[in-house]
Amino acid sequence: MDFNAAEEEEFGFSRNYFLAKEMGSSGKKSARKLSDINVVDEQELREASANIEPKHQNDVADLINSYKSLYPKWVFDLRCGFGLLMYGFGSKKSLIEDFASTALAEHSVVVINGYLQSINIKQVIIALAEILWEQLKLNRKVSSGSLPKVQQPFSSRSMDDLLSFLDGPQMDEKDNFICVVVNNIDGPGLRDTETQQYLARLASCSYIRVVASIDHVNAPLLWDKKMVHAQFNWYWYHVPTFAPYKVEGLFLPLILAHGSSKQSAKTALIVLQSLTPNAQSVFRILAEYQLSHPDDEGMAIDNLYSISRERFLVSSQVTLNAHLTEFKDHELVKTKRHSDGQDCLYIPLTKEGLEKLLSEIS
């Protein structure tokens, strides 16, 4: 029966896995290198990827339009207290934002872009509290009641306070909710446990309804049963759109474009800016050396030490080593064995990148 089918399925999984494993290790594994492909310049690649002609544009548009007939159902579900969870291949960003702006026109809508690298969930919740406050004030004016005064601005309140404000008792109107649209609730900016816990608590608030999308096949692993059943209260919808993941993929590296240029000048800059001025200056010495000696394999450590000491940047080998460890940890600097046997340092960046970097930190 059902149970057997489930067992069979599970068995199928493991069988497939081992078959695949076997295929990989049975010597048939190709040893070709990625570098055998004549990869075009990164610049060109990025340009070309910006100009990719999307396929099936009309069909995709038709498909997305066909979901419009579901909008009333979605509103119904939201009003019943569920959270909507959209999944399926293709970017669902425009779909759910369109839904929010057309079908939920009378509600406030806040969009969180989970595909971005870092999101401060507290700021989101503060913003939500402010919106709700305004809304309540507005309603109260009409119904001539008075709200208790805010003792403290929302931005200085604790998370618990904010959440309990959003979870306040629904007084006059039942359908008074703020819709929180979360694009990629499984995205890199929201993936950590703490944020997910906050999102779950947010979702269970009486004034909040969540419409979220996931793209990762393992996204449900982010949640435990309490979050799924008692807080998010998901109502699943399979809505593949096949729309290109434009924004969602913006921050992912192109697979053919990594290599030496992987460590881009931009990330190096961010790291450098967080270091002390002295450390920055040490890095500058190294960079300038590398620019003025393009054919050298790198700068000898002794050499770097004597110059840094002359400029009063370091007082001892120990301090220099501390700086160097920091650089190496962030892959700003690498060591290489010089042909004469001495260790030397170099920065894994192109000449242009290095110049740009130097101009930025000065």
- Which parts of 163-192 interact with another protein (CB under 8 A)? 173-176, 178, 181, 189
Does 249 interact with another protein (rule: CB under 8 A)?
yes
**CA 98 – CA 181 distance, rounded (Å):** 11
Residue 5 makes contact with another protein by CB under 8 A: no
276 forms part of the interface with another protein (CB under 8 A):
no
- Residue 345's DSSP bridge partners are 299, 335
For residue 123, what are the β-bridge partners?
none
Write the binding mask 199 to 238 for another protein: x where contact by CB under 8 A, - elsewhere.
---------------xxxxxxx----xx-xxx--xxxxxx
Among 78, 269, 276, which Cα is nearest to 178's? 78
Q: How far, rounded to the nearest angstrom, does the alpha carbon of residue 337 sit from its chain's CA centroid?
A: 37
Nearer to another protein, 2 or 352 (CB): 2
Residues 332, 282: Cα–Cα separation, whole Å: 12
- Between 13 and 306, CB nearer to another protein: 13
Q: Which two tokens stand for residue 360?
A: 């930025």
User: Is 145 near another protein (CB under 8 A)?
Assistant: no
We find the least distance from the C-beta atom of residue 235 to another protein, in angstroms, to be 5
* Among candidate residues 242, 175, 239, the one with its CA nearest the CA of residue 206: 175
Closest separation in Å from C-beta 327 to another protein = 19
Touching another protein, residues 47-76 (CB under 8 A): 47-49, 51-52, 55-56, 59-60, 62-63, 72-73, 76
Least Å distance between CB 307 and another protein?
Answer: 32
Instruction: Write the binding mask 296 to 335 for another protein: x where contact by CB under 8 A, - elsewhere.
Output: ----------------------------------------
Asked if 343 interacts with another protein (CB under 8 A), we say: no
DSSP letters for 272-331: HHTS-HHHHHHHHHHHHHHHH-TTSS-EEHHHHHHHHHHTTS-SSHHHHHHHHHHHHHTT
Cα separation of 86 and 92, whole Å? 8
Assess 80 for contact with another protein (CB under 8 A). yes
> Does position 88 bind another protein by CB under 8 A?
yes
Whole-number minimum distance, CB 129 to another protein, in Å?
10
From first CA to last CA, the distance across the chain in angstroms is 71
